[in-house]
Amino acid sequence: GGGAATTPSAEATLDPANPTVVKVGSSPIPQAKILQYIDDNLAKDAGIDLEITEIDDYLTPNIALDDKTLDANYFQTEAYLADQVKSKGYKFEHGKGIHVEPLTVFSKTFKDIADVTEGSVVLLNNDPVNQLRGLRVLESAGLLTGLEDTDSALLLDGDDVKNPKKLVFKEVNSEQVPKFYAEDKTIGLAVINGNYIVQAKLNLDEVVAQESAIDNPNANFLTWREGEETPAIAKLEELLHSDEVRDYIKKTWTDGSVVPAF
């Protein structure tokens, strides 16, 4: 695991007059915005120059990191990375948590999560980690019981014990969840990633449940290839945990859709 520690020799190689380029891939919001804030305000003095690629889906950033298209990425959580490493054999290491985007459950139909009727349609992420996170939120809200880490929408379908309300799950790409939620009146509940709340102009009045931000294992962090924590990456990792960034996050996402994890 990597840390924010920087060595004097690393400092020495970074020259503000001739900044080192770091290619980072990230989701557009909030990660890319946070990176852009660093690139605009902090990077120059630190001797690095960020080349930010916005990537919407959650698969390509790791593939691109692995094939060296990117030097680092900033979009994922511990559980997601573990799943990816397990299935694809990536050799990555990562920094400390930077921010949390709590999953939020929206509903146009129900004022309260307790009102959810049997057979309601629930819209979920289709990627396994975020889907499980979403299912856990529903579990905490009392809609599901006895979830295991291997569970998925597919397995819960028709499982009367774990899914007593016979919820019907629909799965789409994370970025499509707010889109379909906005357009489709048949959807009872939608579990939406926090980073989309602002972008999709969602109505916070429709929130019926939210993932707890305290002790959340789902903080996003910077990821790089194992053994390739260059001085520039180390510097970026340091800047991502700076006071300026913490203040920036708090000031920018006042609705709580993004909260600092340090």
Q: How far is the CB of 156 from another protein (least distance, A)?
A: 11
Q: How far is the CB of 83 from another protein (least distance, A)?
A: 9
The one-letter amino acid at 223: T
Q: How far is the CB of 45 from another protein (least distance, A)?
A: 27
C-beta separation of 240 from 222 below 8 A: yes
Which of 49/83 has CB closer to another protein?
83
Beta bridge partners of 106: 190, 207
C-beta separation of 102 from 217 below 8 A: no
Q: How far is the CB of 177 from another protein (least distance, A)?
A: 10
Q: How far is the CB of 106 from another protein (least distance, A)?
A: 15
Which of 127/229 has CB closer to another protein?
127
Distance CA 230, CA 40 (A): 21
Which of 88/250 has CB closer to another protein?
88
Which of 185/251 has CB closer to another protein?
185
C-beta separation of 168 from 153 below 8 A: no
Which of 11/157 has CB closer to another protein?
157
List contacts with another protein (CB under 8 A).
Answer: 25, 28, 53, 55-57, 59-60, 63-64, 66-70, 87-88, 121, 123, 126-128, 152, 154-155, 157, 170-173, 175-176, 179-180, 183-187, 199-200
Q: Kindly give, in sequence order, each residue whose CB lies less than 8 Å from that of residue 125, ignoring residues fewer than 6 positions away.
A: 131, 134, 171, 172, 173, 174, 177, 191, 193
Phi (first) and psi of residue 25, to 5 degrees: -105, 140
